[in-house]
Amino acid sequence: MSAVIVIIEHDRGELASASLEALSAARPVATQLGVPVVAAVCGGSDATANDTAGAIAATCARYGASEVVSLMHPLLADYGPEAWGEAIAQFVAQRRPAAVLACGTDRGNEVMAHVAAILDAPMVANCLTINPAAEPWAMTRVQWGGSLLEDSTLAAPVKLLTVGHHAVDASSAPVAAATSSVFEPVLDASLARTVVADRVVREAGVTLTTARVVVGGGRGVGSPEGFGILEELAAELNGKVGCSRAVTNNGWRNHTDQVGQTGTRIAPDIYMACGISGAIQHWVGAMASKNILAINTDREANMVTKADYAVIGDLHKVIPAITAEIRRRR
Ligand code: FAD
Please give the distance, rounded to the nearest whole angstrom, from the Cα atom of residue 243 to the centre of ligand 1.
9
Q: Say how many Å lie between the CA of residue 218 and the centre of ligand 1.
A: 6
Q: How far apart are CA 259 and CA 179, in angstroms?
A: 43
Q: Report which ligand 1 atom has the smallest distance to the Cα of 314.
A: 19
The whole-angstrom separation of Cα 175 and Cα 73 is: 27
The pLDDT value given to residue 224 = 98
Judge if the beta carbon of residue 217 lies within 6 A of ligand 1. Answer: no
* Rounded CA separation 145/34 (Å): 33
Q: Ligand 1 pocket, 312 CB below 6 A?
A: no
Q: Cα dist. 170→16, 22, 266 in Å?
A: 12, 8, 20
**Of 276, 237, 239, 240, nearest to 260 (Cα)?**
276
Ligand 1 centre and the CA of 307: distance in Å? 15
Torsion, Cα 273 276 278 280, to 10 degrees, reads -110
Indicate if ligand 1 lies below 6 Å from the C-beta of 277. Answer: yes
Q: Are 27 and 37 in contact (CB under 8 A)?
A: yes
Q: Which is the closest atom of ligand 1 to the Cα of 302?
A: 9
Which amino acid residue places its CA nearest to atom 45 of ligand 1? 246
Ligand 1, pocket-test mutation among 106, 229, 255, 277, most atoms within 8 A of CB: 277
Q: What is the pLDDT of residue 34?
A: 97
pLDDT value, residue 46: 76
Beta pairing partners, 310:
294
- Measured in Å, residue 95 CA sits from the centre of ligand 1 at 48
**Structure confidence at residue 139 (pLDDT):** 97
Question: For a substitution probing ligand 1, which of 223, 276, 302 has the most ligand atoms within 8 Å of its CB?
Answer: 276
Half-sphere exposure of 20 (CA within 13 A, CB side): 15
Report how far ligand 1's centroid is from the alpha carbon of 224 (Å). 15
Q: Which of 223, 261, 272, 295 to mutate to test the pocket of ligand 1 (most atoms within 8 A of CB)?
A: 261
- Judge contact between 291 and 308, C-beta under 8 A: yes
Is the minimum distance from the CB of 103 to ligand 1 under 6 angstroms? no
pLDDT at 135: 94
The ligand 1 atom nearest the CA atom of 261: 28
> Distance from the CA of 265 to the center of ligand 1, in angstroms?
16
Q: How many CB atoms lie within 10 A of CB 234?
A: 23
Per-10-residue mean pLDDT, the chain, length 330: 92 91 97 97 81 86 96 94 98 98 95 98 97 97 83 97 89 91 95 89 78 97 98 97 97 95 91 97 93 98 98 98 96
Query: What is the rounded distance in angstroms from the CA atom of residue 241 to the CA atom of residue 228?
Result: 10
Measured N-to-C along each axis, helices 228-236 and 315-329 cross at an angle, to the nearest 10 degrees, of: 30
Instruction: List Cα–Cα distances, 82 to 107, 116, 132, 213, in angstroms.
Output: 11, 12, 29, 39
Distance CA 64, CA 69 (A): 14
Cβ–Cβ < 8 Å for 18, 2? no
SS3 string, the chain, reads: CCCEEEEECEECCEECHHHHHHHHHHHHHHHHHCCCEEEEEEECCCHHHHHHHHHHHHHHHHCCCCEEEEEECHHHCCCCHHHHHHHHHHHHHHHCCCEEEEEECHHHHHHHHHHHHHHCCCEEEEEEEEECCCCCEEEEEEEHHHCEEEEEEECCCCEEEEEECCCCCCCCCCCCCCEEEEECCCCCHHHHCCCCCCCCCCCCCCCCCCCCEEEEECHHHCCCHHHHHHHHHHHHCCCEEEECHHHHHCCCCCHHHEECCCCECCCCCEEEEECCCCCHHHHHHHCCCCEEEEEECCCCCHHHHHCCEEEECCHHHHHHHHHHHHHHHC
Calculate how far, in angstroms, residue 151's C-alpha sits from the geometric centre of ligand 1: 30
